[in-house]
């Protein structure tokens, strides 16, 4: 079997069904006021490009909003109903909580963990753990 036929088979079996399921499921829409989300942290403000991340082909709402997946359900195949209310990260991940993980722990593992995984696969990725100031930006008032 030629390489191009193998690639076509992989696309047809793996990638195409994911794309179709997202279209059929009628992906949840991000409100305009949530397209960019700012988190004020001790070492600088983080601006999270919510819409940009949601529009990536490798992510789904449940990639980050794991509370949308019922216990025991497969997050890769679970379809979130359109009328679902999505909680903000800090509604569960409080600054000093242990269960679930506090916000800093959750963000550093989920966000930079995904960036590291993506970069390891040879793709362009966001900031990594060793580049704190790429996410944590001091405001001009702090200078």
The model's pLDDT over 87-117, given as tens digits with 9 standing for 90+, comes to: 888 888 887 777 888 888 888 888 888 888 8
Question: 56: closest CA among 111, 1, 120?
Answer: 111
pLDDT at 83 over 80: no
Q: Write down the CATH number for the domain with range 3-142.
A: 3.90.10.10
pLDDT, mean over the chain: 76
- Domain boundaries in the chain? 3-142
Q: With left for phi above 0 and alpha for psi between -120 and 50, is residue 9 left, alpha or beta?
A: alpha
pLDDT at 137 over 80: yes
pLDDT at 18 over 60: no
State the residue for tokens 């890769």: 76
C-beta of residue 47 within 8 angstroms of C-beta of residue 137? yes
């Amino acid at each position: 079997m030629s390489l191009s036929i193998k690639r076509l088979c992989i696309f047809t079996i793996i990638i195409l069904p994911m794309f179709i399921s997202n279209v059929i499921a009628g992906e949840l829409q991000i409100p305009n006021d949530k397209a960019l989300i700012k988190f004020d942290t001790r070492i600088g403000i983080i601006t999270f490009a919510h819409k940009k991340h949601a529009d990536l082909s490798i992510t789904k709402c449940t990639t980050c909003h794991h509370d949308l997946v019922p216990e025991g359900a497969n997050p890769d195949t679970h379809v979130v109903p359109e009328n679902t209310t999505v909680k903000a990260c800090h509604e569960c991940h409080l600054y000093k909580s242990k269960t679930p993980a506090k916000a800093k722990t959750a963000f550093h593992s989920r966000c930079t963990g995904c960036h590291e995984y993506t970069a390891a696969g040879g793709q362009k990725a966001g900031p990594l753990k060793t580049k704190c100031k790429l996410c944590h930006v001091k405001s001009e008032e702090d200078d």
